[in-house]
Structure 1
Amino acid sequence: MNMVNDHIKTAVEEAGGQAALARACGVSQPAVFRWLNGRRVKADYVMSIVSAANGKVEAHQIRPDLPTLFPHPDQAD
């Protein structure tokens, strides 16, 4: 059972498709497909995804397991 990553799905839609998001991030389209289907996004690509998603996706949503790198906006300092 595959779980679609809704945040990556939003980024794909905003970027204009998997190939467009891949170009924006400097990765292959199959890499985006893997992210979409549950593969963890390397921290290196998070900000490219945020940019390609036109602000509809935030960094902490893509990698909530890295709060030091990508803090939630409501997180106290």
Structure 2
Amino acid sequence: MENSCEIAKEKAGGPAALAKALGGVSSQAVSQWKKVPAERVLDVERLTGVSRHELRPDVFGAAPQPEAAE
């Protein structure tokens, strides 16, 4: 979770860029995130491409596994 949060920050161009893209949150707050707040996960996923399941498996569960072809 922590690592996924850091990856999301990097993909967004850093905490300041992610904060600006999200709006309503300071870059200082984003810098301090150890995990993305649950209410921000879907926006962070949309902006960075980092899955909600990676960002907050405690909220969204493990990523669904693709079904095996028969």
* Structure 2 match to 1:64: 57
User: What are structure 1's unaligned runs of at least 5 residues?
Assistant: none
TM-score (norm 2): 0.73
Number of aligned positions between the proteins: 65
Q: Aligned residues: percent identity?
A: 41
> Shift in Å at residue 42 of structure 1?
2.2
TM-score (norm 1): 0.67
Q: Relative to total residues, which structure has the larger helix share, 1 or 2?
A: 2
Give the CA RMSD over aligned residues.
2.3
User: What are structure 2's unaligned runs of at least 5 residues?
Assistant: 66-70
* Structure 2 match to 1:49: 44
* Structure 1 outlier segments of 4+, above 2 Å: none
Bigger Cα Rg: 2
